[in-house]
Structure 1
C-alpha cells in the first residue's frame, strides 16, 4: 500500500498533467482564434483594396466619372472595429496570464502578422491612414477637387439659410459653390478613410468649416474643421466608440500652372523621407490635384518676426537640424545643386515667354495697350532683352563653379536644403502650459517648417542667401506684394549671428557631427572648419593652455562663419536668377499663349495648332483676362527681383556698367546691397 507521501506525489502529478493539458488546449484554441482573426482582417483588407483598384481603373478614362461618380463605399467600420476590439482582448489576456507560454507566443504571432499586413498594403490602399507604416505611401484616390469657385478667404463657414430675399444672385451662387466644394471634400475623406472622419455623415457636409489660408503662391491651402455639433455615432450598447471629434485637416490643392515647376511625385517621396525623421507635417492622403496633411495648431510667422534676433536664432537651429538630419541620396549628391537643375528645366519656357514679351514691347501697338496692361509700361522684364540676361546667367554660372573649387567640390558641400524659407513656410506652434516646447532648450522647436516643394540638394550658402533675401519681402502688402525691399536685407552683423548660431548648434539626431560642408572652398582657398590645435607652446600653466585652446576654437569658428557668409554672397545671384525664372514661368498675360503658339508654329513652318511642334510645355488656363485684381503679379516680381541679380554682378565685377543700359545701372545702384 503506498504511503501518504507517495499518494500525495501521485495526486500532484495528476493535477500538473491536467493543468498542462488544459494549458495546451487553451494555447491551441488561442492560436486558432488569433490565426482566424488576422486571416479575416487580411481577407477584408484585400477585398476592399481590389474593389477600390477596380473602381479606380474604371474611372480613369472619363474625368466626369471621377468628379461626379460616387466615391464612398459600403461602410465596414463597425466590423473592423469589432475585429480590432477582439484583438485587443486577446493581447491583454495573453500578456497578463500568469505562468503561460502565451505571452511570448502571441508576440511572435503579432509580429509575423504585422509584417504580413504591411506587405499587403500598396498604393491605392483604403486602409486607415493612421495605420500605415511610415515607409508606405499614403492612401490615394483618383478624384479631382475643383476649387476654382472657392478661392475667396471667406464663405467656407457652416451653411446658414438665407432669409433675406434681397440677397444678391452672386451671394447665392457663392454659397452654392462652397456647399458643392465641401460635399466633395467629405466624399474624398470618406474614400480615403481619414481617421475619425467617418463620423461626419455626408448630409452634414455643409456644416464643416473650410477656411482658406493666405501665404501660399503655388497652392490653395485650406483648414478643414468638422461640424461644431456633431451628433453621437449610432452604435449598440456593447460597442465602444470614441466621442473625440475628428481632427482638423490641412487641405492643399495644387495650382494649375505649376506642374512644370514642381515634380509632385518627387515631392511626395521627399515628404515620406521627412516623415521618418518627424520633420514637417504627415501626409494623410492624396488625390489627383492635391492632398490632405496633418494640421498643426500654429500660425505662420510675420515678416517682422522673421527679423527678430531671437526668432532668427531659432530659424538657424531648425535649419541646421534639417541639413544634418536628412541624408542626401547618392543620386541627389551626384546630380549636383538643384538650383542648376531648376534653371535648366525652366529656361526653355522662359525663352518662349520672354521672346514674345520682348517683341510685344517693341511692337507698334505696345503704347496703345500700355494703358490697360501695366507690364508694358515697365519695360523689359529682365531689364534688358532676354538673350542678354540669359548669357549673363550662363557666364556667372561658369564663374561660380570655378570659384567654388569645381563641380566635384560643390557636390561635396551639398546638404538637404529647404530652399524656400520665407515667413509663410515657418509656423510658430502655440503650446499649452506645461508643454516640453516651453523649456528653454526646446524653444526653437516651436518652429515647424512646412511646404517642402522646392526641397533638394543645395549648398548651405544658397540656403542662407534664399532665407536672407526673404527678409526683404512682405507677400501680404496690399499694393506691392511682389516688391523686394533691399534696405532690410540682413546686415553683416545679423548674418554673422545667424551663421554662427547655425554652426554651433549640435542637433541631437546628428550625433554632434558637422554637415558635409565643413570645408567650403572660397575662390580656390580651402578654409578648415576645425583645425588641429598645437598645445605645445612651452607654457606649464593650465589656464594659459585653456585660454589658447578657447582662442583657437574662436578663431576657427570665426573663419568658418566668414567662409559661409562669403559662400552666401557668391550664390545669391544664382538664387535671384532662379526666382526670376520662377516668376516668368508663372506669368499670365492676355493673349500670350496664343502669341506663343503662333510664334512656335511659324518657327516650325506649320499653321496647324500643335502640328510639327514638339513642345510639351503646359499652357495657361483660359480666361486669364478675368483675373482677380488681387492676384499675385509674377512679372512684376520677376522684374523687381532681377535688380538684385544685376546688383550682385556689378558689385562682384562680373559685368561692367557700360555693358548695361544707363537707366538700368542707375536704378540698380540706388538699391545695391554690397554685403
Structure 2
C-alpha cells in the first residue's frame, strides 16, 4: 500500500472525455432525462439518441454529460445536463445522505448547479457552462480575490442543522479507519500510533482560540471552483466534505491546494514552493474580510493569518489520513 500513489481528489476537472453508451445510465435516471426533455424544452426525444460522454477525473462518483440532439442547431444553446452516479464505499469519508441534503440546500440558495432530479443511486444536475479552474489560476491575483469573496459568501450561508465543528471528530474517525486498514508495518511507517496524541494536542490548542465558525467547503482545490468568463462570477461545486468548521481551516486548506497540480504524472506530490507567500496570503485575507463591506484592521488581518498558519497542520493531517484510507480502499 505504501508504494501506491493515492488518486487525485479532482471531482470536477473533466480534462478528458470519452463516449459512453446510454446503457451506462440507470433506467430510473433515463426516465428523468426523458421527462426533462419535455419539461425543459417541450420535446420528446428517443433516449437512444442522447449523446453520452463520461467525464474523466472523478474519483468518488461516475459523472456523465448528457447532450440532447439538435439543441444548438435550433439556436437555444446546448441542451446538456450532468448525471452523477454515486460511488461505492465512500461512506468512510462522508455521509451520502448529508451530502445530498447539502446539495439540495445549496441548490435552493442559488449556489452551484441546480438539482434537476434524483434517482436511487445518483442525481441529475444542471450542466454549468463555466470553466473549471486550473492550478495556475489559483495564483492569479484577480482570480484569488474572486475566490476569497465567494468563499466568504459560502461561509456565511444559513445552512440547517447544528453548527458544531466537525474537523476533530472526523480526523479521529479517519485515524481509526486508517489503523484498521493498515498492517503493523504500514502503521509504523505512517506513525499512526502517534497521530492520536497529535490530533488531541492540536484540537486543544486551536479550539481554545477565539475564531469564526462557518459552513466550510473543506476541499477547495482548483477542480471544485468554476468561473463564468463573461460575468467573472465564481461558483463552488462538489460538497461531499462540506460541514461547519473554523473558517481558518477552509482557507488553510485552500492555501495548501495552491501547491497541488492534479493534472501531472505525480498528482499526489505537492510542490510547496508554490504555497502562497506572505503577500499573497495577506491579499486573500484582506479580500475575504473586506467582502462583508467593511475594511478590516491590520489586527484582524494578522489574527486570521495566524489562525490559518496553525490550521495548515490540520489540513495536512486531514488529507494525509484520506490518502492512506483511499489507497487501502483501492486495494
What residue number does 2:176 align with?
Answer: 348
What residue number does 2:152 align with?
Answer: 320
Decide whether aligned partners of structure 1 residues 286 and 558 sit closer, same or farther in structure 2, where only a CA change above 3 A counts. same
- State how far apart, in whole Å, the 1-side matches of 2:226 and 2:32 are: 27
- State how far apart, in whole Å, the 2-side matches of 1:338 and 1:308 are: 31
* SS of residue matched to 1:155: strand
**Cα offset, 1:339, TM superposition:** 1.7
Quick check: 1:481 aligned with 2:323?
no
- State how far apart, in whole Å, the 2-side matches of 1:254 and 1:278 are: 23
What residue number does 2:204 align with?
Answer: 402
- State how far apart, in whole Å, the 2-side matches of 1:194 and 1:466 are: 43
Quick check: 1:571 aligned with 2:317?
no
- State how far apart, in whole Å, the 2-side matches of 1:216 and 1:323 are: 25
Within a 5 Å distance, the mapping from 1:102-181 to structure 2 comes to 153-156=17-20, 178-181=21-24
* SS of residue matched to 2:91: coil
* SS of residue matched to 2:63: strand
Query: Structure 1 length as normaliser, TM-score?
Result: 0.43
Quick check: 1:220 aligned with 2:97?
no
Quick one: which of 276, 284, 289 aligns to 1:490?
A: 276
- Assess if the C-alpha contact under 8 Å between 1:460 and 1:564 holds in 2: no
**Cα offset, 1:390, TM superposition:** 4.1
**CA deviations over 1:288-313 (Å, ceiling 9, x no partner):** 22111111111201111111111111
What residue number does 1:440 align with?
Answer: none
- Which runs of no fewer than 5 residues in structure 1 stay unpaired? 1-151, 157-177, 233-242, 360-379, 432-436, 438-442, 507-511, 515-552, 589-619, 625-675
- Assess if the C-alpha contact under 8 Å between 2:68 and 2:79 holds in 1: yes
Name whichever of 396-405 and 298-307 sits farther off.
396-405
**CA deviations over 1:134-191 (Å, ceiling 9, x no partner):** xxxxxxxxxxxxxxxxxx83123xxxxxxxxxxxxxxxxxxxxx24225845334236
* SS of residue matched to 1:457: strand
- Assess if the C-alpha contact under 8 Å between 1:315 and 1:447 holds in 2: yes
- State how far apart, in whole Å, the 2-side matches of 1:197 and 1:448 are: 25
* SS of residue matched to 2:276: coil
Within a 5 Å distance, the mapping from 1:465-476 to structure 2 comes to 465-476=252-263
- Assess if the C-alpha contact under 8 Å between 1:197 and 1:246 holds in 2: no
* SS of residue matched to 1:286: strand
Quick check: 1:584 aligned with 2:307?
no
- Higher normalized strand content (fraction of residues): 2
Quick one: which of 421, 439, 453 aligns to 2:240?
A: 453
What residue number does 1:503 align with?
Answer: 289
Quick one: which of 300, 309, 325 aligns to 1:560?
A: 300
Largest Rg, 1 or 2:
1
* SS of residue matched to 2:267: coil
Quick check: 1:416 aligned with 2:215?
yes
How much is the aligned-residue C-alpha RMSD, in angstroms? 3.0
* SS of residue matched to 1:587: helix
- Assess if the C-alpha contact under 8 Å between 1:303 and 1:473 holds in 2: yes
- State how far apart, in whole Å, the 2-side matches of 1:193 and 1:262 are: 33
- State how far apart, in whole Å, the 1-side matches of 2:223 and 2:73 are: 36
- State how far apart, in whole Å, the 2-side matches of 1:569 and 1:231 are: 52
Query: Structure 2 length as normaliser, TM-score?
Result: 0.84
What residue number does 2:31 align with?
Answer: 187
